[in-house]
A = this chain, B = another copy of it.
Amino acid sequence: MTAVPEPVLLAVDLVILTLREGRLNVLLIERQEDPYGGSWALPGGFVGHDEDIADAAHRVLAEEADLGSQAVHLEQVQVFAAPGRDPRGRVVSVTSMALGADLPDPRRGSEVADARWWPVADHAGIRLAFDHEHMLEVAVEQARTQLEHSALALSFLPEKFTISQLRGVYESVWGTMLDPGNFHRKVTRTTDFVIELDEHAAPTGGRPARLYRAGDGSALFPPLLRSE
């Protein structure tokens, strides 16, 4: 009863997330060729010879999203392998998420009709190609959960940041407002999450905020629960 090994094509599809004007955005491309020509989709590509998943993801970042030189945090989300998910044949996709600070507007890549950032909240109306809507949903939910238990939020910020900026990450990704005072206390008391610097950011209409950098911890204790 052993299954005959059937060769499949292996792809990576990327949920590239960044914050723009205080809102969580995802990078989508407009497909030029069929299947789904003219539809919006996640950037993706096939995994090439001698490439690991991360290698292929970085290549797709450069080729389709023009983000080759940007620092991004890359993380596997889930494999989508349902037979029939791609009309061209058996294509199995490893969905990964790529998070970065203030990522720039993409230039049009090769094989791509258009590429732009879309606010994730607005996205409800847009239909995506293949099973990419499901991928986006799973990836965003994974990001929301990881914010509670890991230092993932720092991937959305530059090397030096203020507590307000960090709070902005949580508010944007979770879609909720948090109490500034309580958030400040929680974050600075969580062990190894952020490290205080002897610098301050330029004031933005009030008292200048102290700058922090990432601490050593990747798991947060106590966690920052999404309940306030």
Contacts and interface: CB of A to CB of B under 8 A. Distances in A.
How many monomers of this protein are in the complex?
2
Please classify how large the interface on chain A is, using the bins under 10, 10 to 19, 20 to 34, 35 or more: 35 or more
A124 B185 CA distance: 41
Interface stretch (A3-11, A13-21, A200-208): A3-11
Contact of A49 (B4, B46, B227): B4
Contact of A50 (B83, B110, B111): B83
Interface string A50-72: 11110010010001000000000
Contact of A8 (B10, B82, B149): B10
Contact of A45 (B2, B45, B227): B2
A76 interface: yes
A149 B7 CA distance: 37
A221 interface: yes
Contacts of A78: 76
A110 B1 CA distance: 9
A221 to B, nearest CB: 7
A8 B6 contact: no
